[in-house]
Amino acid sequence: MTQEAGYTKYFPVSWEELHRNGRALAWRLMEKAPFKGIVAVTRGGLVPAAIVARELDIRHIETICILAYRDDKTVGEVNVIKPLDLEDGGEGWLIVDDLVDSGITARHVRQMLPNAHFASIYGKPKGLEQVDTFITEVSQDTWILFPWDQAPTFVKPIVEETRSQSE
């Protein structure tokens, strides 16, 4: 079943901002280290996982490949493309994702690795109970535009967007 996610705002993130927040996440995770390795949740967690791995000097990186959101910002059935089974339910491992949104993807990952520490750069209210550490909270109705999803282009001033929506 596919459903609209209800996004009305956009929050563009630059490469520099993502890198800065990835390093901030690593700083927060320092007190929990050392970790046996990192599990990157693909695809969004790949870049943050690389940043955290560098900053914490972690060389063992695994992936969980999972799909819930579609390109058109709708939520569909969760499709686990590549699961991961670590001994002790992932005890001592760090899961990294770019964002915890509704918590749907995170719940599936948590079921596979219930004892791992789950970290994300961004978190939304509906998904925050699934994540142990995050950097920035964003409202539920906001679609985060990650650097790999955007290109430079002209945008109208906010006041013009507001006027055209109210007409």
Give me the CATH number covering residue 32: 3.40.50.2020
Output DSSP code: residue 15. Answer: H
Domain count, the chain: 1
- Residue 70: is its pLDDT beyond 50? yes
For residue 3, what pLDDT is reported? 47
Active-site residue, selected from the candidate residues 98, 132, 141, 149: 98
Range of the domain at 113: 3-166
Residue with tokens 């695994």, as numbered in its chain: 62
What's the pLDDT tens digit per position in 16-69? Answer: 999 999 999 999 999 999 999 999 999 999 999 999 999 999 999 999 999 887
Instruction: Please tell me which residue, 14 or 3, carries the higher pLDDT value.
Output: 14
For residue 167, what pLDDT is reported? 67
Indicate if 98 belongs to the active site: yes
85 marked ligand binding residue: no
Active-site residue, selected from the candidate residues 101, 132, 141, 149: 101
What's the pLDDT tens digit per position in 109-153? Answer: 999 999 999 999 999 999 999 999 999 999 999 999 999 998 888
Task: Tell me how far CA of residue 132 lies from CA of 97, 110, 141, in angstroms.
Answer: 12, 11, 22
98 marked ligand binding residue: yes
H-only helix segments in the chain: 15-29, 46-56, 104-112, 158-166
45 marked ligand binding residue: no
